[in-house]
Structure 1
């Protein structure tokens, strides 16, 4: 990737020919990031010409996607299985568009849609594994609510001589059966990612059929959770809308990320996403930075170049999420003054070096889990903040 950075930046370089011998540093083979010399003016011109996206464009896409998603979700519950009576909540915007560093076009929004079962049922999450990395996934069980539930029928068996006027015994049994048939892995009380996604996609499809007459564009599913809007003008907008389950009273959410290892048990293994926390962390850290800081531009530059690299050489295990994690680690570690606009080239090199070292160590720690540098205002749940 460092080789590619140099080649792209050099296209914009206007140095004196006498300095061309510096290019020899970047011959074929491995290149240390310490040898990467970037000119601030060249880097800024490269950013302005190839990467820069205005805040207005981000806001415009966000506004459309959120308004359209609200319309879909408003009709979603009316077309879903009424026996299960699942509550769908307002969508939550996360990821690069909402953090203002997305570079690839068309801009792609990521929305999470929390959902919950009707009373007296609840989702109970069980974290799995024994290390910080393994604690990022878990299984989710449907069970009767505890004594904290406001309805007596959620506390105990009422017996044959007493019934709940809100939740009769037959009704509760029907709800339980409907939930398990609709959402759970076969013969288990645990949520199946495959069934949840199919339930959600089916509801979104029916909701679109109900409201499509109000819109003058085409909507298609790119995959199970990704939707593509194509306007008559040819302009397209893509957004991922994913059903998620909130973990306790935190801002961590279980998401149905699929695996390809052929393990049937993985269908009940849900990834725990900290995307909301990460969005809050990035916003919180930005408050202490100088005016017109360079941190977002740094991430955009590295992300843009990484995409160009993978376009040429194929998919890589290194993702934009890893690049963002590197940035967050550096934001926590460096003084705010070091992120002024005058330090753009140094900070780009710092991110590249951080990734370089992480790849050699084959280790990149999560920026939130067990990190004492995370500000208290992020309010990370203690089970993650203390997990070392």
Structure 2
């Protein structure tokens, strides 16, 4: 038995959670895969700043001669054996996934060529991105779309495993045998619950957008090696976790849009304190203080608590805290500086049928 697509997809990421700050035409989609049964997750801790909560695990094939003989093509094609253990290789799965998508794309490209151009961009070790660009005059004013297709291993209870980015330690054979936990569906459910409980004009998503934007603007003025560390320490996942924690520490009525500046400052100061204490706990893993209305699967409830900042040393976190405060104090200046024309992406050319329509308007 080999790998296959399960036949569905799961929308994830900031575009669907309504706090995206860049590239509104880019989306992330999990593509669940169908695997042989009885693969066992083996939780592990990453040696570096792993994404999505610093929780990684391997998928081990069952011991014994019966299972490997029955699924020998699968074991030979998709498993690696670091340290003598037979584990599902994320690198081999990703390579198969990219090739499978190319074959699927070849089957539909001809039928769609009059309406849009479709291409698949694939970088080694990263999920492929599907680019869709309309080519009809009637939709030429539509921006092109990029969809990152992420192969995902279902764990059940709306939990998935996805391949780690190639720049996340550990490097080498051990890296390709590890998978990162994706709990995006539970994050979306929590956001939906917060939306129901908070005022109709709640500013919590706007605060998250603004803080992500300020982080990106400040990053343009930093030099390496700290520039790369800045984006990892204040990753979107860390910022979102800080927002979740802060919102449940006080009354949700305080997040009315009238108090946008105050709540944004609270978020900055809360994050500063976390950086100084070198502690920001994963919001779901091992968190016993979640509201009863937020139901979590047993896997998350019984997991060991994870400190999202544990992979970074003290001086790096202290510098990040200092830069965060500086960024907040300089927020108006940063926004004015980087909103000038030379920092903005060029505006798309006006579409032909729109220009023709304007010429036909009476009185012009």
- The answer, yes or no, to whether TM exceeds 0.5 is yes
Instruction: Classify 1:348/1:268 alpha carbon distance in 2 versus 1 (closer, same or farther; 3 Å).
Output: same
1:253 aligns to 2:160 (yes or no): yes
Q: Distance in 2 between matches of 1:286 and 1:88?
A: 31
Q: Does 1:137 align with 2:53?
A: no
Distance 1:129 1:312, change over 3 A: closer
Aligned in 2, Cα 1:298/1:85: closer, same or farther, shift over 3 Å?
Answer: closer
Aligned residue runs from structure 1 range 51-62, under 5 A? none
Corresponding residue for 2:120?
Answer: 220
Q: CA deviation at 1:178?
A: 1.4
Q: Contact 2:7–2:32 (CA<8 Å) still a contact in 1?
A: yes
Q: Which moved more, 1:201-210 or 1:378-387?
A: 378-387
| 1:353 matched residue in structure 2 | 269
Indicate the SS of the match to 2:247: helix
Give the deviation of 1:306 after TM superposition.
1.3
Q: Is there any run of 5+ residues in structure 1 with no aligned partner, and where?
A: 1-82, 146-155, 158-171
Name the CA distance, whole Å, in 1 between partners of 2:97 and 2:45.
28
Pick one of 255, 258, 262 that aligns with 1:339.
255
Residues 98, 122 of structure 2: 8 Å contact kept: no
Quote the residue 2:146 is aligned against: 238
Cα distance, 1:257–1:135 mapped onto 2, change above 3 Å = closer
**Map of 1:98 onto structure 2:** 16
Helix, strand or coil at the partner of 1:101? coil
Aligned to 1:182: 77
Query: 1:123–1:116: structure 2 CA closer, same or farther, 3 Å change rule?
Result: farther
- Aligned twin of 1:109: 27
Q: Give, in whole Å, the separation in 2 of the partners of 1:303 and 1:85.
A: 37
Offset from partner CA, 1:4-53 (integer Å, 9 cap, x none) = xxxxxxxxxxxxxxxxxxxxxxxxxxxxxxxxxxxxxxxxxxxxxxxxxx
Contact 1:326 1:355 in 2 (8 A): yes
1:84 and 2:5 equivalent? no
The CA deviation at 1:128 is 2.7
Q: Which residue of 2 aligns with 1:269?
A: 178
Q: CA RMSD in A?
A: 2.8
- Contact kept in structure 2, 1:253 and 1:274, CA below 8 Å: yes
Post-superposition offset of 1:370 = 2.4
TM-score by length of 1: 0.65
Compared CA separation, residues 286 and 141, structure 1 to 2 (3 A)? same
Which secondary structure does the structure 1 equivalent of 2:157 belong to? coil
Q: Name structure 2 gaps, 5 residues minimum.
A: 306-364
Q: Which residue in the other structure is 2:279 paired with?
A: 363
Alpha-carbon distance, 1:108 to partner: 2.2
The aligned counterpart of 1:6 is none
Matched residues, number: 278
In structure 1, the partner of 2:212 is: 303
Instruction: Provide the rounded CA distance (Å) in 1 between the counterparts of 2:169 and 2:287.
Output: 31
How far residue 343 of structure 1 moved from its aligned partner, in angstroms, is 1.0
CA separation of 1:378/1:116 partners in 2, compared to 1, >3 Å: closer, same or farther? farther
